[in-house]
């Protein structure tokens, strides 16, 4: 059925638009590749470790929010497609019903 295939195409395009696969692979990567190199002293190394941890946490939460938005969008596209698959066969019957109703009305 063509409408069911369209649902697959729509969900695939939403998944590619959000790049869910890439987001999942890079979930714990630093945000925008912002990485601080450690210095010579212990304070500089601790500061670099803290900066890198913050960068990874920001990257994690931003990517997580985008993944959640992608899941909501995928669910919406799937539900709209499912409603279309169910309603589409009844449209010709509805047209005939409306014509008969208007003639006899």
pLDDT digit string (tens) for 13-34? 999 999 999 999 999 888 877 7
Domain count for the chain, please give it. 1
Sign of CA dihedral 96, 99, 102, 105: negative
Q: Mean of the pLDDT values across residues 80-84?
A: 90
Question: Which pLDDT does position 70 carry in this prediction?
Answer: 95
Question: Which pLDDT does position 105 carry in this prediction?
Answer: 66
Q: Which domain holds residue 25?
A: 2-104
Question: Which pLDDT does position 48 carry in this prediction?
Answer: 86
Sign of CA dihedral 97, 99, 101, 103: negative
Question: Which pLDDT does position 17 carry in this prediction?
Answer: 92
């Amino acid at each position: 059925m063509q409408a069911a295939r369209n649902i697959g195409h729509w969900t695939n395009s939403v998944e590619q638009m959000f790049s869910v696969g890439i987001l999942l692979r890079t979930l714990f990567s630093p945000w925008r590749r912002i990485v601080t190199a450690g210095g010579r002293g212990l304070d500089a190394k601790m500061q670099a470790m803290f900066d890198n941890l913050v960068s990874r946490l920001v990257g994690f939460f931003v990517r997580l929010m985008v993944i959640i938005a992608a899941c909501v969008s995928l669910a919406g596209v799937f539900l709209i497609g499912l409603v279309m698959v169910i309603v589409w066969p009844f449209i010709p019957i509805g047209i005939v019903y409306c014509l008969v109703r208007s003639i006899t009305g």
